[in-house]
Amino acid sequence: MSETTDFKHFIRIIGRGQRAGRTLTQQEAFDAMKMLISGQVTAEQKGAFLMLLRVREETSEELAGFTQAFRQFSLTGLSSLNIDLDMGCYAGKRRHLPWFILAVMVLAQNGKRVFLHGTHEPDSKRLYLNQALPALGLDIANDVSSASQQLDQHGFCYMELNKVNPQLDQLIQLRSQFGLRSCANTLARMLNPSEANFSLQGVFHRHVDEKHRRTAALLKDPNVLCFRGEGGEVEYNPERDVTLHQSRLGEQHCAELSALNDAWASKPKQLDVQQLVNVWSGTESLYAQNTVVGTLAIMLILIENIEWQSAHKKAQKLWHARNKQWPLDIPSKVNTHEMFDTSDKHYVH
């Protein structure tokens, strides 16, 4: 890109209409997003660019270029944490608890280091990890040092995006002005700020999982698995068929999984995070167990490159062999008003 390139050049490319306009190449997307991140655009240009992309939808090449740009601005030092599995948790939950946390804990008990990152969108009215985890006894990591300490102690940690990549979080928070999401939510899932060898990504909408797979191939990321998770989160839904989309150093393939549950579980009126502790400690719940074991199996498919049947059998064994003592110090009092109401209106992801 020429040093004199004006950002309006990129707006013109994507905004001239179906006949005269075109999509950005991966390099153009990188250049454009680098300018946007670096503050070389006006607020009006930023809004026009993001919303034009929103209406037309981004291509895999554009997402790859944008991701490359944002990766240059992630918190320095995260790669030194020696993370095995990176998980972007950006959807939040509205129908069920974040059961995937229990799968993360099982994986951590078996020697893997897991880095979770996410953000909180107040307007979407969902239960996010920065609300759930403190009630379970886990502090939010604010820097590399505290993340390292939690990883050494528990095998996993969670950090907010405003610490991991403030520029990307600022883009996500623009939803309060636009009333719409931008591509930033997708980029956050693809970010892999810890530079882990394995990246697990969950999405909500159809065909977005395919786009994640193609983008990962363009980026030549080592091992990426993306699927349509419960509510858009990185969580297996045992009530639905699901396709696992994988990309390993540019090589892509898919696997089809059938639903495990015959009937749908009723949505609780409130989400009580204490139930996560109860199920971990031994309380029986068919939905919760199938969700946790299924999510853990998907993690094993990604990390060990094995098929579903083998992964599911191993996940069941690991779940039953877990140390059922809750490993965190739970706050002495979790007030009932902190329970999450599922009856309110929620934005679709």
Over residues 93-112, the pLDDT tens digits come to 999 999 999 999 999 999 99
Number of C-alpha atoms within 13 angstroms, CB side, residue 94?
Answer: 18
Residue 74 included in any domain: no
CA–CA distance, 27 with 47 (Å, rounded to integer): 21
Residue 247 included in any domain: yes
* pLDDT tier, 342 (very low <50, low <70, confident <90, very high otherwise): low
CA–CA distance, 50 with 48 (Å, rounded to integer): 6
What residues are paired with 248 via a beta bridge?
251
pLDDT value for 333: 58
pLDDT value for 263: 72
pLDDT value for 265: 73
Residue 142 included in any domain: yes
pTM: 0.93
**Structurally, how many domains does the chain consist of?**
2
Helices (H), the chain: 8-15, 17-20, 26-37, 43-56, 60-71, 100-109, 129-136, 144-154, 161-164, 166-173, 175-178, 184-190, 208-219, 274-281, 286-304, 308-320
* pLDDT tier, 19 (very low <50, low <70, confident <90, very high otherwise): confident
pLDDT in tens, 228-281: 999 999 999 999 999 999 999 999 999 999 998 877 777 677 889 999 999 999
Provide the domain limits for residue 27.
Answer: 8-56
SS3 280: helix
Domain match, 169 and 315 both = yes
pLDDT value for 181: 80
Domain match, 336 and 291 both = yes
pLDDT value for 336: 39
CA–CA distance, 82 with 84 (Å, rounded to integer): 7
Domain match, 113 and 239 both = yes
pLDDT value for 206: 86
Domain match, 29 and 156 both = no
Residue 108 included in any domain: yes
Sheet holding 198-203, edge to edge: 156-160, 114-118, 85-89, 198-203, 224-228, 242-248, 251-257
Residue 64 included in any domain: no
Residue 257 included in any domain: yes
Domain containing residue 319: CATH number: 3.40.1030.10
Residue 70 included in any domain: no
Domain match, 95 and 208 both = yes
Domain match, 281 and 221 both = yes
Name the CA radius of gyration of the chain, rounded.
20
Residue 315 included in any domain: yes
Domain match, 331 and 291 both = yes
Tokens 């999509």 map to which residue?
Answer: 23
Domain match, 51 and 84 both = no
pLDDT value for 51: 93
Domain match, 187 and 300 both = yes
pLDDT in tens, 281-339: 999 999 999 999 999 999 999 999 999 999 999 999 999 999 999 988 888 755 434 56
Domain match, 29 and 133 both = no
Whether 186 contacts 168, CB under 8 Å: no
pLDDT value for 306: 97
- Is the pLDDT at 31 greater than 80? The verdict is yes
pLDDT more than 70, % of the chain: 93
201 or 20, which is more confident:
201
Whether 136 contacts 156, CB under 8 Å: no
Domain match, 287 and 248 both = yes
Domain match, 83 and 52 both = no
- Is the pLDDT at 122 greater than 70? The verdict is no
